[in-house]
Structure 1
Amino acid sequence: MRKLIYGFSVSLDGYINDRDGSIDWTNPDEELHQFHNDRYREIEVSLHGRRLYELMAEYWPHVPADAPRIEREFSRLWTEKPKVVFSRTLTEVHWNSTLISENAVEEVRRLKAGGDGVMEIGGASLAASLIPHGLIDEYQLFVLPVVLGGGTPLFPSLDKRIQLRLVETRHFDTAVMLRYLAD
């Protein structure tokens, strides 16, 4: 069965973007960016919610030729990586993406059962729909030293607690990674 990882940059107070939807505070240092590039190579399939897909599609396929090497590398990785985009409003997707407009929970169960690699989920709303069903196997939080005071929370409100086990910490110049496994 495929493992599903939910990894995101998050403010110290638990938000993935600010009140205006901006993520301009998430600028990774070179070591962290390389970590993300290396991790992304290991991902078999990337699951995106609509908002994250649109945000990524706005920049990564169009990285300028004079951009830093690390950004050009991620641009290539992102555009080539198989992606599943969950949206009820989009009518088409590009860059090696498949569009799913119905029942994200059942589709993710099917995808998890369809192999033994690693998938990642991007998008707080999409993750929020899967977390109550126990479909997330690992959480990778990249905690940045900023307090936003509002925005989109990393986690949804839940009816019951989810017990996690801390298995790794790692310090970068711009963030601390906390990696947890779901019990």
Structure 2
Amino acid sequence: MRKLIYGFSVTLDGYINDRDGNIDWSNPDDELHQFHNDRYRDIEISLHGRRLYELMAEYWPHVPEDAPPIQREFAGLWTSKPKVVFSRTLTEVHWNSTLVSENAVEEVRKLKAGGDGVMEVGGASLAASLIPHGLIDEYQIFLMPVILGGGTPFLPLLDKRIQLRLTETKHFNTAVMHRYLLD
């Protein structure tokens, strides 16, 4: 069965973007960017919610020729990586993406059962729909030294507790990663 990872840059107060949807505070330095590039290389399928897909599609397929090599590398990884985009409003997706407009929970269950690799989920709303069903196997939090005071929370409100086990902590110059597995 495929493993599903939910990872994001998160502010000290638990947000993945500010009240206007901006993520300009999360700009990784080269060390952290390379870590994400290497991590993304190991992902078999990337699951995107609509907002994250639109944000990524706005920039990564159009990275300028004079962008730093580390960004050009990620652009190539992102555009070629198989992606499943969950949206009820989009009518088409590009860059090796498949559009799913119905029942994300059931589709993710099928994707998990369809192989033994690693998938990632990107987008807090999409992850929030999967977390209560126990579909996330690993959480990777990249804690950034900023407090926003509002925005989109990394985790949804839940009806019951989910017990996790800290398995790794990694320090970067601009963030601290905490890796948690279901207990």
Structure 2 length normalisation: TM-score? 1.00
Q: How many residues align?
A: 183
1:159 aligns with 2:159: yes
CA distance in 1, matches of 2:148, 2:95: 32
Which consecutive segments of 4 or more residues in structure 1 shift more than 3 A? none
Partner of 1:11: 11
Letter in 1 for 2:125: S
Q: How many angstroms does 1:143 deviate by?
A: 0.3
CA distance in 1, matches of 2:18, 2:174: 17
Q: How does 1:119-134 map to 2 (within 5 A)?
A: 119-134=119-134
Give the unaligned 5+ runs of structure 2. Answer: none
Letter in 1 for 2:123: G
CA distance in 1, matches of 2:93, 2:29: 30
Q: How does 1:31-70 map to 2 (within 5 A)?
A: 31-70=31-70
Partner of 1:178: 178
Give the unaligned 5+ runs of structure 1. Answer: none
CA distance in 1, matches of 2:55, 2:66: 21
CA distance in 2, matches of 1:156, 1:64: 36
Letter in 2 for 1:165: R
Q: How does 1:13-162 map to 2 (within 5 A)?
A: 13-162=13-162
Q: How many angstroms does 1:7 deviate by?
A: 0.4
CA distance in 2, matches of 1:72, 1:29: 14
CA distance in 2, matches of 1:122, 1:143: 16
**Considering only aligned residues, what root-mean-square deviation do their CA atoms show, in Å?**
0.3
Letter in 2 for 1:144: M
CA distance in 1, matches of 2:182, 2:136: 7
CA distance in 2, matches of 1:182, 1:125: 20
Q: How many angstroms does 1:40 deviate by?
A: 0.3
Letter in 1 for 2:32: L
Q: How many angstroms does 1:182 deviate by?
A: 1.0
Identical counterparts, % of pairs: 85
Letter in 1 for 2:75: S
Letter in 1 for 2:121: I
Q: How many angstroms does 1:54 deviate by?
A: 0.1
SS of 2:109 mapped into structure 1: helix
CA distance in 2, matches of 1:5, 1:43: 9
Listed one character per residue, the Cα deviations across residues 104-134 of structure 1 (whole Å, up to 9, x for unaligned) are: 0000000000000000000000000000000
Structure 1 length normalisation: TM-score? 1.00
